Chain A
Amino acid sequence: MGGIDQFIHFTGFANMTWGHLIMLAVGLFFIFLAIKKNYEPLLLVPIGFGILLGNIPFMENVGLQIGIYEDGSVLNYLYFGVLKGIYPPLIFLGIGAMTDFSALISNPKLMLLGAAAQVGIFLTFLVALALGFTVDQSAAIGIIGGADGPTAIFLSSKLAPELLGAIAIAAYSYMALVPVIQPPIIKLLTSEEERKIKMKPPRAVTKLEKMLFPIVGLLLTTFISPGALPLLGMLFFGNLLKESGVTKRLADTASKPLIDIVTILLGLTVGASTQATTFLTSESILIFVLGAVSFMIATAGGVLFAKFMNLFLKEGDKLNPMIGAAGVSAVPDSARVVHSMGLKEDPSNYLLMHAMAPNVSGVIGSAVAAGILMGFLLKVL
């Protein structure tokens, strides 16, 4: 009888709490969004399933080695890559090998939109500070406004590992919800006339420019912000593999199998890190709210800066201010949102290539911002 009694105590039913049920519902909702609504399925399916994995109730701290926070469990080993910031640079390697910087090189002034959109990071940092978070936690929360999951995970693993689960989930959720969050803000800040502005087609970029860009980009940005080296180093390395033309096999591996493997591991473990017993706190809810605020400020910052730049640009060179919203990164979703909004206003206005420029610039900008925050706040041993 003792054995049966122990078995019953070990089942999920005996250990279930309301928190587990809520998180299981959240996991199912993520999977629903991914499959039914097609919102970032490559991210939301692993994360959603990870949430299910992390919230199957079990008896904790009795040496079962099951949970993600229990030493020696398989999930704990896989989570090591998140905790130590190993997965984000590998994701950046793949992103670099996939990214075509031509649009940015052909119209480099669009780089400033990627910088402008980072305002979300810094303003949310201030709000989080005022709300009573520590300075390290505030920086990690602010980076959600960079709309860059790997960067958010990288910075929070260094500055506020205790908030990593909430920050990662918030960052990826808002990246998936770009088509819902951004359009109303863009519409609010732009007139119909502005949304119809047609931009000059980008010029053809030479191979030499494409090859030099990752090298110069690495040197310029990482000398200013060495903290961003793991992210930007891998991003530009991946891009050089692609653009050099002599390492096609390596570029293919980085941009396909490697990034797929790391995405699976990252998504699943980040999802599983939302174990109800450690995740469901008032802090997590506040982080979600602040993340949304950060994302909205970043979108508004990009759009408003594009309008500001238009004040100095002559007719014919003017920017469609909607592309400023793509400065938040969230590659390539925010660029796609801008493109489809442009098409709705004028079916002959193709903004995708133009929006990709601030989009990839935003990736660089948010990584630089993360490096700067690390430079300010990381405790020197």
Chain B
Amino acid sequence: MFDQFSFSNIVENDGILITVVGYVIVFAALLFLYVFIANFQKILLFQQRKKLKDKGHRAADVDDLSISGETSAAIAMALYMEFEEAHDLESTVLTIKRVQRPYSPWSSKLYGLREYPKR
């Protein structure tokens, strides 16, 4: 079956046609998607700029309105620190919460111990 390499099999089965047309179509499909996404970004930026202009923001005239992932991460971290972590005032209200530890033989540690802990 594979004794000899034969180009006639390619020609007889329209191999070249399938290859060229197939590859071009793959490229075309992804090119369409690329064109759409690239233009959709522009439409979004145009709308964003218009909104900023209507509100009178100076940022409307900035060339590049996009924010890099690194900048977003830095802003997110700063907000987190502001609202969750860094604080100058501690809450002075102390309460004792009752924590229930219902007993169950399934969760009892004693049943899992071979030797009782030495005190």
Q: Which residues of A contact B (CB under 8 A)?
A: 104-106, 108-109, 111-112, 114-116, 118-119, 122-123, 125-126, 129-132, 135, 138-139, 200-204, 206, 208-209, 212-213, 216-217, 220-221, 224-225, 282-283, 286, 353, 361, 364-365, 368-369, 372-373, 376-377
Contact = CB atoms under 8 A, between A and B. Distances in A.
A105 B2 contact: no
21 contacts: A115-B30, A118-B26, A122-B23, A123-B19, A125-B19, A129-B9, A130-B9, A130-B10, A131-B5, A132-B1, A139-B18, A202-B68, A212-B40, A213-B37, A217-B33, A220-B29, A220-B33, A220-B36, A224-B28, A372-B25, A373-B22
Interface residues of B, number: 39
Contacts of A209: 37, 40-41, 44
Given A202-B68, A368-B25, A111 B33 contact: yes
Interface string B14-25: 111011011101
A132 B2 contact: yes
Nearest to A361: B30
B2 A286 contact: yes
Contacts of A213: 37
B6 interface: yes
Contacts of A204: 66-69, 71-72
Contacts of B68: 200-204
Contacts of A111: 30-31, 33-34, 37
B36 A216 contact: yes
Contacts of A283: 1
A135 B40 CA distance: 40
A105 B33 CA distance: 10
B89 interface: no
B32 interface: yes
B34 A369 contact: no
Given A122-B19, A131-B2, A212-B40, A108 B33 contact: yes
B31 A108 contact: no
B27 A112 contact: yes
A283 B2 CA distance: 9
